[in-house]
Structure 1
Amino acid sequence: MTNRKDWKLKPAGKGTDGGRRIKGSLVALALLVVSTVAAACGGNGSKLVEGKMNVVTSFYPLYYMAQTIGGEHAHVVNLIPAGVEPHDWSPKSRDLETVSKAQLFLYHGAGFEGWVDNFLKGVSKDSGLIAREMSAGIELIDVGDGDNGAADHDHEHEGEAASGSELDHEHEGEAASGSEHDHEHEAGDGHNHSLDVDPHTWSSPKTALLLAENVKNAMVEADAANAEAYEANYAKLKEKLEALDAKYAAELSKTTRKDIVVSHQSFGYLARDYGLNQIAIMGLSPDAEPRAQDLVKIANFVKENGVTHIFFEELVSDQLARTLANEAGVETLVLNPLEGLTPEQERNGDDYVTIMERNLQNLLKALQ
């Protein structure tokens, strides 16, 4: 078995037969548009309250951190409801209204929320809102950097077929310009499909510690009167995340295998922080479709390097990962990128820590 942290997928040159060699079932499935489980679009319907600091977050990990740190002094609203994949979500005018009336708006940045710049332009300057980017100060992974362990599918335009690909994705009546995302973009424009950096910082407990500190600092800034309570709650959260980080580091250091094949390229920070090698079927956005020659190379890599499992996630279609696993003769497991909870996870009381613990167990099973 090889363990190459800088392993990359390079595009097959024109005239090669890489795409033609792929088995029929993979070709057929690669033509599918990878869709999200979009049970709803828009805010979660939570109303702001009086007597507490109202905090609005752009997606689940920030919601979890803000709610934990805020305790009884903050009312936290998450813009994206359970079951909706953030890459497929755009704000509506009602979301702008909610944010405009809040005291604090926390978003991740680093290109994750492609809509955020235009969205914030719609907030009145006299609203009193404090908006803060939570990835500020974190060492981000450059796309294509060999140190991140991420597979490079040459997705020059995430979500569109690469030029020269043997798979001409028609998107069933939708223009290649990205019109599939044109629905109700009232308050902010769309998604960033050509990211320069990997924005998925929260996939690693080690890096999540930095996010949590940024969340705490922003809450103290916006509500200094309750700074002592925020600091105390943050200290408890920090202790949990440090324990999780230590557990990841200790357990993953013992594994003989280091390669993880994942459905979308959202575990670069996990790979970087714990010595793993990420090979992704799709790019930084889960709707970035792989080319046939990419699937051939991944299937060959799986067979040649003794990979026993291919990981999929709950909020996007698992068909491509399952079919690739079937072709390679391996099994599948869930590796949750924690971009959001499913309704069932929300009902069960799952949170960032419990799901990350589950992720670790599945990683250990696949890498043993």
Structure 2
Amino acid sequence: METKRLIIFGGIIAAIVIGMSFFSPKPQTTQESIESPVVSVSTFSLYEIAHAVAGESLTIHPIIPLGTDAHMFSPNPKQVAEITGSALFIYNGAGFETWAENLKQTLPETTHVIDMSQNVTLIKSEGPGEHDQEEGHDHGGMFDPHYWLDIDNMIAMTQTVDREFSKLFPADAELFHGNAATYIGKLQKLKSEYKTGLAECKSRTLVTNHDAFGYLAKTNNLENVSVIGLSSDEQPSAKNIADIISLVKEHGVKTIFFEEFINDNVSQTIARETGAKAQSLQPLENISEDELKSHQTYLTIMGENLNKLREAMECR
């Protein structure tokens, strides 16, 4: 009887132990093992490339909030901390993010930094509508930082991201190479569409409120005329506005383009004075909440830009 009681008691104890082990919290996996490495980027074009190349293997974190004028952005302490905690920080360069030049000096050695402007061909700007091609990467002068609107530069940027990701995260190098090749193929198709779509047009004059389209104009043999220069917060002079009104009338320009995140009062004024239409054109420095929700990308928005340009310039 005593032996039977001991057996029953032992069985109860064993059941309790098993139950405790089943319901007790399991050892937690460390945060580092469940979270992918973080890559922080500034402009939208960098975000799209990084996301296209990385797939789901990395966390791509855009620093500039959606719908914000990227020219006017400056990171707050929380955003600086996010960059500091990243494995890699990629910024546009060429004077676009003045805050990044100072910030990169304070980042820890664990955060690698890429100034993407060092990997593309830049255009030197001498004022609204005046551009000269600059084959080198010397930033001694004033360079137009909107270089992603040259699709060849987007291809070079994609190759740079592929190369740098593969160095930092070699286990996924084959994935990066494949994704980069796929995205470059889409960019090459877009470049071909621009070449064909803007080959024969009644007008080749591109009038915009902000000098953000110099690369798009140069690569597609358009005359780029802007009301203000590279910085979106510049104020146009009365003379400059009057000169552009005269040019629009003289050349029979049908459309005055303006940037979505910038005040369009001047463009609307010129349109009223000349009988032209005012229409938005996306320079892809950033996108809006609505554009994100409707799954817009660099590729789709550039396609929409092409359609607007073809209509405005009466292309065949």
Same fold (TM over 0.5): yes
Report Cα offsets for 1:263-322 as digits up to 9, x if no partner. 100111111111011100111011111100000100000000111110012111111111
- 1:334-353, aligned counterparts within 5 Å? 334-353=280-299
- Distance in 1, Cα, partners of 2:251 & 2:106: 51
Partner of 1:283: 229
Is 1:303 aligned to 2:249, yes or no?
A: yes
- Distance in 1, Cα, partners of 2:164 & 2:227: 36
Task: Indicate if the aligned counterparts of 1:151 and 1:279 stay in contact, CA closer than 8 A.
Answer: yes
Partner of 1:224: 170
- Distance in 2, Cα, partners of 1:94 & 1:255: 48
CA deviation after TM superposition for structure 1 residue 237, in Å: 0.5
AA of the residue aligned to 1:76:
I
Partner of 1:62: 46
AA of the residue aligned to 1:331:
K
* Unaligned segments of structure 1, at least 5 residues: 1-46, 153-193
- Distance in 2, Cα, partners of 1:210 & 1:363: 25
Moved more, 232-241 or 311-320: 311-320
Is 1:116 aligned to 2:94, yes or no?
A: no
Is 1:105 aligned to 2:89, yes or no?
A: yes
Partner of 1:80: 64
CA deviation after TM superposition for structure 1 residue 204, in Å: 2.5
AA of the residue aligned to 1:104:
L
Is 1:144 aligned to 2:122, yes or no?
A: no
From 168, 183, 190, the equivalent of 1:237 is 183
Kindly indicate which of the two structures has a greater share of residues assigned to strand. 2
Kindly indicate which of the two structures has a greater share of residues assigned to helix. 2
AA of the residue aligned to 2:286:
G
RMSD value, Cα: 2.0
Partner of 2:15: none
Choose 1 or 2 for highest CA Rg. Answer: 2
CA deviation after TM superposition for structure 1 residue 205, in Å: 2.1
- Distance in 2, Cα, partners of 1:307 & 1:196: 29
Report Cα offsets for 1:9-68 as digits up to 9, x if no partner. xxxxxxxxxxxxxxxxxxxxxxxxxxxxxxxxxxxxxx9994422110012110111011
- 1:28-67, aligned counterparts within 5 Å? 50-67=34-51
* Unaligned segments of structure 2, at least 5 residues: 1-30, 131-139
CA deviation after TM superposition for structure 1 residue 122, in Å: 2.1
AA of the residue aligned to 1:353:
L
AA of the residue aligned to 2:285:
E
Paired residue secondary structure (1:354): helix
Kindly tell me the number of residue pairs found equivalent between the two proteins.
276
AA of the residue aligned to 1:365:
E
- Distance in 2, Cα, partners of 1:211 & 1:66: 9
Shift of the 117–331 alpha-carbon distance from structure 1 to 2, 3 Å rule, reads same
